[in-house]
Chains A and B, each alone.
Chain A
Amino acid sequence: MAAVPASRLRGLAPIGLVVLLGLVLTFALGERYHHRVLTLVFVWATMGLSWNIISGYAGQTSFGHQAFFGVGAYVTVLLIVGFRLTPWLGLMVGTVAAVVAAALIGFPTFRLAGIYFALATLAYPLILRIFMDFLGYQEVAIPMVRDRPALYMQFTDPRAYDLLALAALAGTLLLSHWIETSRLGYALRALKENEQAAEASGVDTFRAKMIALMLSAAPAAVIGAIYAHAILYVVTPDAVFGVLVIVQTLVVCLVGGVGTKWGPVLGAAIMVPMSETLDATIGDRLPGIQGVVYGAALVLVMLFAPEGIYWRLRALLPARRAAPAGAAAATEGPIAADLAGRAPVVRGATLMDVRGVSKAFLGLHALEEVSFTVRAGEILGVIGPNGAGKTTLFNVLNGFLSPDQGEVRYRDARITGLRPSAICRSGVGRTFQVVRSFPQMTVLENVMVGAFVHETTPHRARQRALAALASVGLEARADVVPSGLTTPDLRLMELARCLATAPDLILLDEPLAGLARDGVETVMALVRRVRDGGVTVVIIEHTMYAVVQLVDRLVVLDHGRRVAEGLPGEVVRDPAVIEAYLGKRWLRHVEGLRT
């Protein structure tokens, strides 16, 4: 425990400051109306933070987050009306109901991506709203309980509501802080940046999104219940499920900045007093003024500062000093494999067995009954002309695609049908033909995403990631973002991310593509060092001279079929291979070699 919380504790001080400032305002303000505004600032900051968990950290833009706000409000209030249940308990029931609703909503909805997800989220509060109308809950007044007001969250002192909302805000800030500094936070950022790369690096993206949605539903429900007591008194479908709820939420987040816990707080502190003041001064004469202000805020933010105030301000601060370059990279000697608890496999034994795999796209046979084995400790090359099905094969091996027929067995267990993240966690890593990085994360953080496969704390993941970076000779670049890397360094970073998952088989999809001669040498040396350390390698490559130097055995694909498998020296003389891939010139070259 000792080493972990250092960075986490540092983040707690600003949260303490915000709460302290909230307390000062609570006790300094006099007028009832000012307390109302203060409560609203806390309410919308909390609601914004809650939206920020699923739409900011996880990047799943939701236009229906008020569903959870409304569930919290309605459940709590209906329990008072129906059973005289104290809202202190009712609020918990409402929270549980909202989390269950999140699970029910997330399960089908996360199968949708991008615009389809956003459109689907629109429907949930609309449906809830219609059902509340139908069930006769158009107006549910909170019954006054004069004898025990505190038990029923009914206070005459407005400061009590300030404190209540502030407590919810503090709790949500802590939750956000925990997410930002936890394995989940890294997983969410990674899947927001590049979902496939995250999945291939061992992040179960579906699970991470579900957890994020359920975590984000809880504070929304709590603050919905508090809002009902502090502001509404009479709960209506429009007041809790309506468009203005999500609009207020979006406004505070987008103005303040998305993807950070400070964005919604800043946004609420600026926008809520502004719109309340306008509403109070000219709202009587111009009833739509609040909507116009919010609308204008959204338009202006999108046009002039789409990243929000927080990120704008942060960009003005001087960049953090880059960490000092580490010790000279260990660029020689084998990179020791980390079995991570798996049983060792005898060198030369079958590690992966591909059996009769077929895959067709709209009638085009990308793979037809492809079978071959991968032996532990070897470098297996996969070659073939463009369109032969090499990348499709990798996508089947690591779980991005499920084959129409056949199966892939790894360590004598069927892995076909598993999620790519599960296949990665079982020890099969991969890289991509075009490097897939997480562009807003540093090189170190990119690699940490992979390291979290076997680590639970950021501290340990950082150690593991640094070790992986050191083994590829990239630790001096740990603190830059991927856009600052050269093409060969990007390849190294992706390889380090893959190695950080502690694989015992890695699938390299054209790792030499786009590299100059020295880059090719570096990567080839690295692949050998990985193999020498005990990790098995399957490599797709076009450059024949590199393949023949590098690999132990070859598999040749053509038009989705395996046309040859064997030692490089034999395969390159195979007439079928020459016909399909190497061409007549190669034949003459081989003849020349013979004589």
Chain B
Amino acid sequence: MPLGDLVQYVVTGLLVGGVYALMSIGLALIFGVMKVVNFAQGDFMMLGMYLTYFLAVGYGVDPLLGALLTIPPFFVLGLLVHRTLLVRVTGGGNPQRLMDAQLILTLGLSLIITNATTMILTPMPRGIQTAYATQAFAVGPILMNQARSYAFLMALVLAGLVYVFLTRTDVGKALRAAADEPEAAGYQGIDVRAMHGLAFGVGIALVAAAGGLLATYHPIEPTVAVNFIVLMFVAVVLGGLGSIPGAFAGGLVIGLVQSLTLLVLPFQLQNAGVFIAFLLVLYLRPQGLFGQRLRAV
């Protein structure tokens, strides 16, 4: 195979992987801080896609801007979901039972969102028409779809902002303290419950923004969540459960694996490659490819 083809597959994989990376850090943040695996994460992404879509068709907002505009409302939505539902299954008790309760609660939430969206908006797939979705930048022989390139860049910027927020601001540091040592953080006067709410709000806002970016080139339908939530789980496990840079790298790896799988396996088996890589990592290196065990940042 010519080298050019390989480079093309790698570039395509990385461009897709950038958006996976952004959606995955939302999940990783929630897990890192709250130790909650949020099954409904994909559904918030789907809702972010729809909000971006309605902003585009209703008000002519460019989806790249629309993706940013999803952040404030979804942050508030995340706070509300945390305050009304999740606080009731976090806290004391047998950790295994608590974990099961959280998984099942968020699974139920996911079902409600997917199916309620189907009822209200119909299962019909929709798409946003943009000039750049069908055009490509040519770098030598390598083609880069413009929509994916813009989405990739914005994902990178947003992920960078999250990183700066977590490492450079007082609130971000408090968040990490609450993640690593909730008890000690509590003694230091950090309101751990508020930090959980903040993490959930930011995590939901990030995945909604990632959905908005995805909407520039991916069809929008109520059942889109299922395919992506599993990819997010894989990315987060690859990166070491709860690690933010790990999840970002995990997202990129998944984009690459998906893309490179096409070189050796037929199209239908594209995701089989991802899941098999996932199982291999779980068996061989459950702490993730990059991560230490259970660290937030």
Contacts and interface: CB of A to CB of B under 8 A. Distances in A.
Interface of A: 59, 61, 63, 108, 111-112, 114-116, 118-120, 122-123, 126-127, 130-131, 133-134, 243, 247, 250, 254, 286-292, 294-299, 301-303, 306
A250 B104 contact: yes
Interface in B115-163: 115-119, 123
B290 interface: no
Contact of A119 (B95, B109, B233, B266): B233
Contacts of B101: 302, 306
Interface string B278-297: 11001100100000000000
Given A292-B116, A296-B112, 15 more contacts: A59-B96, A115-B99, A116-B241, A116-B282, A118-B100, A118-B103, A120-B282, A122-B233, A134-B268, A243-B226, A254-B104, A288-B118, A294-B108, A299-B112, A301-B104
B105 A303 contact: yes
A295 B271 CA distance: 26
A133 B230 contact: no
Contacts of A126: 230, 271, 275
Interface string B225-269: 010001001000100010000000000000000000000001011
B89 interface: yes
A288 B119 contact: yes
A210 to B, nearest CB: 16
Size bracket, chain B contacts: 35 or more
A285 B145 CA distance: 40
Contact of B99 (A114, A295, A301, A303): A114
21 contacts: A61-B103, A116-B241, A118-B100, A119-B233, A119-B237, A119-B282, A120-B278, A123-B279, A127-B272, A130-B275, A131-B269, A131-B272, A134-B268, A247-B107, A286-B119, A288-B116, A291-B111, A292-B115, A295-B107, A299-B112, A303-B89
A529 to B, nearest CB: 35
A315 B279 CA distance: 41
A481 to B, nearest CB: 14
Contacts of B164: none
A265 B192 CA distance: 40
Contacts of B110: 295
B283 A303 contact: no
B282 A303 contact: no
A247 B233 CA distance: 18
A134 B85 contact: no
A150 B76 CA distance: 59
Nearest to B102: A302
A229 B112 CA distance: 30
- Looking at A114, A116, A118, A130, which has the most chain B CB atoms within 10 Å of its CB? A130
Contacts of B119: 286-289, 292
A297 B108 contact: yes
Given A126-B275, A288-B119, A298 B282 contact: no
